[in-house]
Structure 1
Amino acid sequence: MEKMEELKNLLTANVNKVTELLHKKEKEEIMEEKKKSKAGLIFAIIGIVVVVAAAAYGLYRFFAPDYLEDFEDDFDDDFEDDFFDEDDEEEK
């Protein structure tokens, strides 16, 4: 009977150790999930900031007038008028 009691005690001790190890693993997995969720949250925030910045830049480019384009048009018109006036004078 003593051997049966010893086996029962050993079995109970082993079951307790295995249970403790499983709980430790579960706690570690929960901590890893929290770390992953923190990293995911950080990347999500960075992504949102990038999207908002890109949208703001797009709106700025859409609504901001292009002054250089107006300047080039005026310059081309003046140049072409003078050039054709000179050709007309040379032909006469």
Structure 2
Amino acid sequence: MNKIDELMTLLQKKERDDDKCKNTIIWILAIVGAVAAVAGIAYAVYRFFTPDYLEDFEDDFDDDFDDYFDDEDAEEN
């Protein structure tokens, strides 16, 4: 009976050690996930508040392009 008790004790100890290892991995993954979520939110806020300079450039280019053709039409008349 004594040998069986020793085996049971060893198995229970191993299970507790495995649980500690699993808990550590879960905590590490939770922290990494939280940091990634905060970084994603910060990037989304940055993209939302940063002006789109390319859009303004394209509008200016279109205005200049239209003005050029308006000038040509005026010269032909």
Size of the aligned set, in residue pairs, is 77
Q: Identify unmatched segments of 5+ residues in structure 1.
A: 1-14
> What TM-score do you get using the length of structure 2 for normalisation?
0.91
* 1:46-85 → structure 2 map (5 Å cutoff): 46-85=32-71
Q: What percentage of residue pairs aligned between the two structures are identical?
A: 56
* Separation (CA, whole Å) in 2 of partners of 1:35 and 1:83: 73
Letter in 2 for 1:45: I
Letter in 1 for 2:26: G
1:32 paired with 2:18, answer yes
Letter in 1 for 2:45: L
* Separation (CA, whole Å) in 1 of partners of 2:70 and 2:18: 77
Moved over 6 A (4+): none
Secondary structure of 1:22's aligned partner: helix
Q: Identify unmatched segments of 5+ residues in structure 2.
A: none
* Separation (CA, whole Å) in 2 of partners of 1:24 and 1:51: 41
| Residue of 42, 45, 59 corresponding to 2:31 | 45
For residues 26-73 of structure 1, give each alpha carbon's deviation from its aligned partner in whole angstroms, at most 9, with x where no partner exists.
010010011011111111111111111110000000001111211221
When the two chains are superposed, the root-mean-square deviation of aligned CA atoms in Å is 1.1
Letter in 2 for 1:82: Y
* Separation (CA, whole Å) in 2 of partners of 1:25 and 1:84: 88
* Separation (CA, whole Å) in 2 of partners of 1:33 and 1:73: 61
